[in-house]
Amino acid sequence: MVVRAKLSVVAVLLAALAAGCSSLKDDDKTATWSPNKLYAEAKDELNGGAYDKAIPLLEKLEGRAAGTPLAQQAQLDRAYAHYKAGEQAQALATLDRFIKLHPASPALDYALYLKGIVNFNDNLGMFSFISKQDLSERDQKAAKESFEAFRELSSRFPDSKYAPDAKARMTYIVNSLAQYEVHVARFYYSRGAYVAAINRAQNAVADYRDVPALEEALAILMRSYDALGMTQMRDDMRRVLEQNYPKSAYLQNGGMPGQKPWWRIW
């Protein structure tokens, strides 16, 4: 009797479990959908801006259409959906996985472009701190990774339709990174930390070429050396500034003319 009772309990549990699984299956309205229908529905949600609804549909499609071009497209669309939903980490993880698994994909240029865009947009607020905190505490990792993605795209796929925009963004990033170093240098100079100002201004001069920020970097070097009583270095920096920017306003007004921030266009 005891054995029979135990078997009866087990049977009841198995039946309940089966019923639960059946219920879960019934709740999944996509269970009988074809991959094409699943993709069509996901695209509708994506186009309508319902990224939270598109993402799970695209995840299901990746599984059901595994090994097909449709699965690859679903993966790229999911990365885009994460990006538009403000989920940069998930978008980048999805793109890195795609790039690793599909190195010969005809859509690899788009994957690299989207990776650059995700990091680029994640970095748009990189200068919002200018009046709020110590500039030296900011991390420029996103900008540099964005540049690397665009650089790889431009190098490997020079004829890609995404290449021109990638190159334009690369120029912007380089200018921004150089200007960031100058902002930090100016921050230190304004507080009398002349050695630190020199170090950051030298970073800009050493790492970047033909960018607008170099003019101010040289001026900060000149004035910092002057403040430290290093007259020979000051005069050397002045000659370099005069040679490269003969009409520079930094050569007047003591070398640090008042001007509105470079980032303020109004």
* Euclidean distance between CA atoms 91 and 118, whole angstroms: 8
Predicted confidence at residue 255, as pLDDT, reads 57
**What is the three-class DSSP state of 228?**
coil
Helix axes 69-84, 35-47, angle to 10 degrees: 20
pLDDT < 70: residue spans in the chain: 1-26, 122-139, 253-266
- Which pLDDT score is estimated for 176? 87
User: Is residue 214 a contact partner of residue 181, using CB atoms and an 8 Å limit?
Assistant: no
Token pair of 236, please? 């050397």
pLDDT score for 127:
46
**pLDDT tens digits, 21-68:** 544 444 778 888 999 999 999 999 999 999 999 999 999 999 999 989
Query: Which pLDDT value is given to residue 266?
Result: 32
Within a 13 Å sphere around the CA of 181, how many CA atoms are in the beta-carbon half? 26
Alpha helices in 28-68, H assignment, sequence order: 35-47, 51-64
Q: What is the pTM of this model?
A: 0.74
Instruction: Answer whether 53's CB lies under 8 Å from 29's CB.
Output: no
Give residue 197's pLDDT: 96
Length of the chain: 266
The two three-digit tokens of residue 253, written as one number: 């007004």
- Burial (CB < 10 A; 0-12, 13-18, 19+), residue 215, is middle
